Structure 1
């Protein structure tokens, strides 16, 4: 039987739920813009595609994977818009399980199986003071979705082969940690095929492989449709698949955005500021949370209603 893993859901929250601040890229030793003319041309086309993507929505996202020997599945709805706006709402067996979101002011995430019921919140300006449990900054999910252009001044051409080439960039997270990102680009397709993220000792943190792209021929835009991710250190893998018929590019209206990209109200749920959890007196920050190991260890959750969904109006909410 497939089941959700609370630890995995918390991991997913860290990955995608705070998509609001891009790490500041610094300079790798002898870092230079790609000098290979073909490389420069391919990167320019990738960036042209990325800048065309103003919004992305998919009302049928399948998330499947494994964590510490458990397999799990989650159905989700996802939306993205310029200016750090992101929302992912997940359900399992008809129940709301996950709400990850961000806008120009704050980030938030809620996991149904958290005890006590809690929504974690952080103002964007406070992210530099937040120590997340997993050193993976959320805006990188935007890179995987293909909406972030490649800064040629911040990437060096690491390897150039007949079939692919790789770019390397050193980055500083909002918390001050140093990470190294490798981007793989396929020469034949001219598209990104994957990413790897390392700590400053070159230990791999996460690997992402783009399995398949979705092409919107009417707009001349493509976005990843299926991506596989792997976190070796925590023995976690997941596959995120967007249903092609449900993918909508550049169709989010202002009314839709006003409803979707804002934090919902929650019944019987505590609000904890990740940047100042002690002052709230209502829980702990992510730096102290390690989550239950399996669903069997979870106690019964307090009924929670999540008001708000990826819908044109709040008349069809996700309800637990």
Structure 2
């Protein structure tokens, strides 16, 4: 259902000052208390910014991009990023209730890749993107916690964060999602997504959290997102936002969440499942040089370790905070068996 533009007072997040996030959880919150804290973000039905920057970390040849981001729950998302003229037009990533798309430079033209949500969800295990772009709505700070879906937790990790594992049924099988939650402020700092066979397919690491007193939510202003397709190397990007407007869209475009129709070259992703790259973009290759993606396999890269199984340490003197974790993402050899700390 379309919410449309809100009327009346415009709710905004100003640059300064930022109030410290209030303490909303006790030392040992139960599942219901934790869900109530996390789901305060339900107050955010629309989120918009014209002051974003996108760094495509898996494509070093691409400079940092200026971007606009608009989203409207549940499926509406649009991110448009500008790139230098020598690389053609910009990147357009979007989603609505029925379909999603991304448009990227292809030599001197643009190519539009698209898919129907329902059709694409039936082949995620062999798709060139392991999630569709609407997942970014959750990744950038609007994840929900439904107690009915919880498989394990909440548990306190050795870094001080709270960990909860949930289930997420899809036509491709039951996925699992792991959330890391800040223990006093009750906001999500990390999201890990695992396929039915236990392979990590996506993760987000959020930082620079700021409290919005108007709607009583904490939003991250820096988010690193990584995707791990079954066929092809990872895709990673980082989004940085100077300020957000909450519950009003910074666009008067009635077609804001409509897939572009002017692109001459269009590719249906449902028909190309199992391919390793999209002009080097989805596969993480060099889009500027057009380098093909080759040599990747789970055998050469090794399995991706679930969050709870990956050993990691904090530098001396750093407390167990979201910032500490962001600087020290899980690394190291695989460890067998699930270990909750």
Deviation at 1:168, TM superposition (A): 0.7
What is the RMSD computed on CA atoms of the aligned residues?
3.0
Please point out which of 30, 33, 40 is paired with 2:32: 40
In structure 1, the residue matched to 2:120 is 127
In structure 2, the residue matched to 1:67 is 58
Aligned partners of 2:275 and 2:200: how far apart in 1? 23
How many residues are aligned here?
Answer: 250
In structure 2, the residue matched to 1:288 is 275
Aligned partners of 2:61 and 2:289: how far apart in 1? 13
In structure 1, the residue matched to 2:185 is 189
Deviation at 1:80, TM superposition (A): 0.4
SS at match of 1:44: helix
Aligned partners of 1:188 and 1:87: how far apart in 2? 32
Deviation at 1:187, TM superposition (A): 0.9
Deviation at 1:182, TM superposition (A): 0.8
8 Å Cα contact 2:140/2:206 also seen in 1: no
SS at match of 1:297: coil
Q: 1:42 to 1:179 in 2, by over 3 A?
A: closer
In the superposition, the TM-score normalised over structure 1's length comes to 0.67
In structure 2, the residue matched to 1:259 is 255
8 Å Cα contact 2:77/2:134 also seen in 1: no
Unaligned runs of 5+ in 1: 1-35, 278-284, 300-320
Deviations 1:17-68 (A, max 9, x none): xxxxxxxxxxxxxxxxxxx754421321221x22111100011211225327
Q: 1:218 to 1:159 in 2, by over 3 A?
A: closer
Q: 1:226 to 1:96 in 2, by over 3 A?
A: same
Aligned partners of 2:227 and 2:98: how far apart in 1? 29
Deviations 1:218-259 (A, max 9, x none): 332332211123457835543211112xx1000138x83623
In structure 2, the residue matched to 1:281 is none
Aligned partners of 2:73 and 2:240: how far apart in 1? 22
In structure 1, the residue matched to 2:5 is none
In structure 2, the residue matched to 1:238 is 237
Deviation at 1:73, TM superposition (A): 2.0
Deviations 1:134-169 (A, max 9, x none): 323433322223334211100133352273221112
8 Å Cα contact 1:66/1:72 also seen in 2: no
8 Å Cα contact 2:114/2:268 also seen in 1: yes
In structure 1, the residue matched to 2:89 is 96
8 Å Cα contact 1:186/1:192 also seen in 2: yes
Matched, 1:57 2:56: no
8 Å Cα contact 1:145/1:224 also seen in 2: yes
Aligned partners of 1:59 and 1:295: how far apart in 2? 25
Deviation at 1:111, TM superposition (A): 0.7
Matched, 1:138 2:138: no
Unaligned runs of 5+ in 2: 1-27, 292-341
Structure number with higher helix proportion: 1
